[in-house]
A and B are shown apart, each in its own frame.
Chain A
Amino acid sequence: GIQVEQSPPDLILQEGANSTLRCNFSDSVNNLQWFHQNPWGQLINLFYIPSGTKQNGRLSATTVATERYSLLYISSSQTTDSGVYFCAVERDNSGAGSYQLTFGKGTKLSVIP
């Protein structure tokens, strides 16, 4: 199956700093999503981004599908950005459009005041 690797596994930032999280995947994908899991365990959709660039406030994401990676940028980090960030991809081998996601192991971000 498809492999998804996220880096770094852990990241500690001072409030106000910027960061870049990376997601590498081993095969071409139909779908790529970034999620934030907050300290209460809720998974929150950040971006649906199989290719191209999107921005939402202080967060932006870029996926270069031909080179099999995606980047999540967090600018001016806040303590509320703390949590785990997951990248998940879909490689549809069946052709039946079942939209199965394979998750990376995540990047744990801690933003300190």
Chain B
Amino acid sequence: NAGVTQTPKFRVLKTGQSMTLLCAQDMNHEYMYWYRQDPGMGLRLIHYSVGEGTTAKGEVPDGYNVSRLKKQNFLLGLESAAPSQTSVYFCASTGWQEGNEQYFGPGTRLTVT
């Protein structure tokens, strides 16, 4: 049971490039989330999903897109990266069997130059 995993762990992009971050969970959780963490800001919710095929906007969704084609995977896309998207990105999941306690992946450190 690997829990929540994220790919890649580190990435450097140039302004305007695109990339996709992958989150996978093996706990059969219904709910998945993408957060970003900036210095001194805590974590802020970007997008979330309440089930396969569904997505919704969180607090800071601009510049990001998401997809949940399979229950175990939640993808975060940056179509045209900007320096303001330099951050650490965390994925989390939870499910009925957990109540609503969220479990987090190890994070992806993204730098946009």
Most buried by A among B48, B50, B102: B102
The reply to whether the CB of A14 lies closer than 8 angstroms to some CB of chain B is no
Residues of B within 8 Å of A88, CB to CB, are 43, 102
Mask for A93-113, Cβ within 8 A of B = 1, else 0?
000111111111110000000
Q: How far, in angstroms, from A101 to B104 measured CA to CA in the complex?
A: 12
User: Given A86-B43, A99-B94, is A48 in contact with B99 using a C-beta cutoff of 8 Å?
Assistant: yes
Interface size class of B (residues with CB under 8 A): 20 to 34
B56 at the interface (CB under 8 A from A): yes
What's the tally of chain A residues with a CB closer than 8 Å to chain B? 25
Cβ–Cβ < 8 Å partners of B100 in chain A? 30-31, 90, 97, 99
Please give, as numbers and ranges, the residues of chain A lying within 8 Å of B22 by CB-CB distance: none
Knowing A41-B106, A98-B50 are in contact, say whether A103-B44 is a contact too (CB < 8 A): yes
